[in-house]
Amino acid sequence: MNNILQQIAVETTLRIEKQKQITPPEKLIELAKSMPIGGTRFESALRGDDISFICEVKKASPSKGIIAEDFDHVQIAKDYAANGAAAISVLTEPFRFKGADSYLSDISKVVETPLLRKDFVVDEYMLYEAKVLGASAVLLICAILDTATIAKYIEIADSLGLCSLVETHDESEVKSAINAGARIIGVNNRNLKTFEIDLSLSERLRTLVPADKVFVAESGISTREDVERFRKIGANAVLVGEALMRGIGLKCLK
């Protein structure tokens, strides 16, 4: 695990331990299990005839700082939904990305589009949180979770009717995702050590992902040409955040 991820993982662990004091695990689990299962809406939304868009509600990032000063998270999500987003990713990590659980909860009340909770899952507690907050899917990052843990978390998520987007960065992590039983595999084109973007990473790793899996290219996608590049390799979806938050409309990418 690299340094920035290690720091975020530690911060997230401390954050969740504090949250458990507010809402004990047994209470959260009971609440999550009392909610409708909801099926696999997120996965189904990405299995369209053409490449799909996961549009991200993101205020800031560690590499770029504040991305959107004027941040009306609800209106942003409404705009995404109105312009054909297959799914919406919502940052809930509060320290590095200036996200909030309330963003996800607020958005879930006003759009029907499947929602991905974008956070750094380090504890199964966060899966139950995601369900209660209104998510349809969770992000599981291979760089901070081993294969057995990913498999366990996928099983828990499935039991709650949540899909799991398993994020990878190299060949060994793709193998880990596959061995864990991931049905949706993402490749993050951003090097989490240097923050540099390499769009060819998704192209190279695409060949390792079985055709029956949903393949998602993440990060660095900012032009229609970028989208076409991933369409050609058979990506099911692209996750776009910064470009949209900086004012490039979704229609300009399609």
The residues annotated with a catalytic role in the active site are 56, 58, 118, 167, 188, 218-219
Contact (CB, 8 A) for 122 and 93: no
Contact (CB, 8 A) for 129 and 25: no
State how far the Cα of 185 lies from the Cα of 166, in Å rounded to an integer. Answer: 5
Which pairs count as long-range contacts for 7-16, CB under 8 Å and 24+ apart, including other chains? 8/93, 8/95, 8/96, 8/120, 9/120, 9/122, 9/144, 11/95, 11/96, 12/93, 12/119, 12/120, 12/122, 13/122, 13/123, 15/94, 15/95, 16/122, 16/123, 16/125, 16/126
Phi, psi angles (nearest 5°) of residue 180: -80, -10
Based on its alpha-carbon atoms, the radius of gyration of the chain, rounded to whole angstroms, reads 17
Helix H or strand E encompassing 116: strand 115-118
Report residue 55 CA to chain centroid gap. 10
The secondary structure of residue 186, as a DSSP letter, is E
CA dihedral 37, 38, 39, 40 (to 10 degrees): -120
